[in-house]
Amino acid sequence: MLVLFPCVAHGQEATEEPKNEFTLDVELLTRGEIRSGGLANEEDDPDDNIAKFIVERTRLGMDYERDFLKAHVTAQHAAVWGEAGKGSINLYEAWAQLTAKNGLFAKIGRQVLSYDDERIIGSDDWTVAALSHDVLKLGYEGHGHKVHAIFGYNQNSESVDGGTVYLDGDKPYKTMQTLWYHYDFQKIPLGASLLFMNLCIQGGKEDNPTAEFYQQVLGGYASYDDGRWGAEASYYRQMGKAEQGLKLRTWMMSFKGTYSPCEKWRFTAGYDVLSGDDNFPVPGRGQMGLVQHKEINGFTPAYGSHHKFYGAMDFFYVTTYLNSFTPGLQNLYAGVRFSPIKKLKLDATYHYYATETKLTDLDKSLGHEIELAASFDITKDVKVALGYTFMNGTKTMEALKRVDEDHKLHWAWLNFVVNPKILSTRW
């Protein structure tokens, strides 16, 4: 008996489940681009507006998990091949999360915020630097309900002099408070969300350069998907004051429908409309157009993944219009995806663009855009994708964006991603 007890005890220890898990992964992204008129041109001669470059992003991610504790760190390097200074190296993510059995959790540190379709808050992963936030997130998830409360407070340094001024920092806001609620219905494939965001942005006019302006975003998002039919809709409003001290009164709405008759085909159609500023000045080349605005009516998507929604060439809400105001945007689009085999996806999308507000002596139409793209999963952690976009702009587009209508607007890209998990261990 004395001999058996130690053996039984040792056997019990051997069958215990590992409590600690560690993984190490790497992402290597390389993208080559050829742009001919794909961005705004401020030069007098647009014929030299052709760019060819290769960008790269390298990430090293580490995950640790034990019982109720999770921790994650991602180091990131992003650069253009041949860039002076060899690009930027930063800590893209560094957070820890505690989760209780009842669904309550707390997550603190630098983290990616991605909500709903990422129209308002998203990772913006197409840009090599991408977006992350230094925040505290408190929440609950369970029984179809998700509630997240997010708090951010940014400063330039830990200096005890100069008060709490935050100008020209790495993050676009001084303070941020966000409340997000989502509910998944149990009997139907429907989900709905509500979002409220309050931002404090510092930076006023010359007579008061450290003035604080508070602005709010309030709205909702809903999505339905039964495998064959799908639909998404959203509506948001912006309120408060902008950096110029002007009242902010803007809105946007969107709708998208999808139909998948079988696994190989998916059809998509949608419409986005974002409010614009009235009396939008459109001066000729070499001229200045000055209009006194009493309030700002042009909607600005806060910290979303803009490349995902308003056209692959990124004319809208990535580059700016003249004079920092906007005539808004109407985006009517339709697309089709064909997957002849499981690992291959072929996409074609058409966009029609127009301003939301009327322009003096100019038509509201901005032009047409056709996007073609293909992606193939070589293995589960090696992917390649390529695309081509052509835009036929109008005289309005030429005037607003300083892009010559006669200059062909082309953009082509090739994307290569390797994302293996190089180490995974449990003990």
- Return the domain boundaries, the chain: 59-157+166-426
> Binning pLDDT at 50, 70 and 90, where does residue 205 land?
low
Classify strands 247-248 and 295-296 as parallel, antiparallel or unpaired.
parallel
| pLDDT top residue among 315 and 283 | 315
CATH architecture of 59-157+166-426: Beta Barrel (2.40)
C-beta separation of 54 from 30 below 8 A: yes
Name the 3-class secondary structure at 253: strand
User: What is the DSSP secondary structure assignment for residue 284, as one 8-state letter?
Assistant: P
| pLDDT top residue among 363 and 39 | 363
> Binning pLDDT at 50, 70 and 90, where does residue 243 land?
confident
> Binning pLDDT at 50, 70 and 90, where does residue 44 land?
very low
> Binning pLDDT at 50, 70 and 90, where does residue 130 land?
very high
Is the predicted pLDDT of residue 137 greater than 50, yes or no? yes
Is the predicted pLDDT of residue 50 greater than 70, yes or no? yes
Q: Mean pLDDT, to the nearest integer, of 382-403?
A: 86
Which range, of 96-110, 315-329, 381-395, averages the lowest pLDDT?
315-329
pTM strictly above 0.85: yes
> Binning pLDDT at 50, 70 and 90, where does residue 204 land?
low
Q: Mean pLDDT, to the nearest integer, of 268-277?
A: 96
Is the predicted pLDDT of residue 381 greater than 60, yes or no? yes
Contacts with 120 (C-beta within 8 Å, 6 or more apart), sequence order: 195, 197, 217, 219, 236, 301, 302, 303, 304
Is the predicted pLDDT of residue 325 greater than 60, yes or no? yes
What pLDDT is stored for residue 57 in this prediction? 96
> Which of 41, 9, 35, 64 lies closest to 402 in space, CA to CA?
41
Give the count of beta carbons closer than 10 Å to the beta carbon of residue 206: 5
Share of the chain above pLDDT 90, in %: 65
> Which of 119, 306, 312 lies closest to 217 in space, CA to CA?
119
Is the predicted pLDDT of residue 82 greater than 70, yes or no? yes
C-beta separation of 296 from 274 below 8 A: no
Q: Mean pLDDT, to the nearest integer, of 165-181?
A: 90
Is the predicted pLDDT of residue 322 greater than 60, yes or no? no
C-beta separation of 345 from 339 below 8 A: yes
Give backbone dihedrals phi and psi of 385, rounded to 5 degrees, phi first.
-145, 150
| pLDDT top residue among 181 and 156 | 181
Contacts with 399 (C-beta within 8 Å, 6 or more apart), sequence order: 282, 284, 362
Is the predicted pLDDT of residue 425 greater than 70, yes or no? yes
Q: Which helix (H) or strand (E) holds 194?
A: strand 190-202
The most confident of the ranges 76-85, 141-150, 400-409 is 141-150
Dihedral of CA atoms 321, 326, 331, 337 in degrees, nearest 10, equals 50
What pLDDT is stored for residue 6 in this prediction? 45
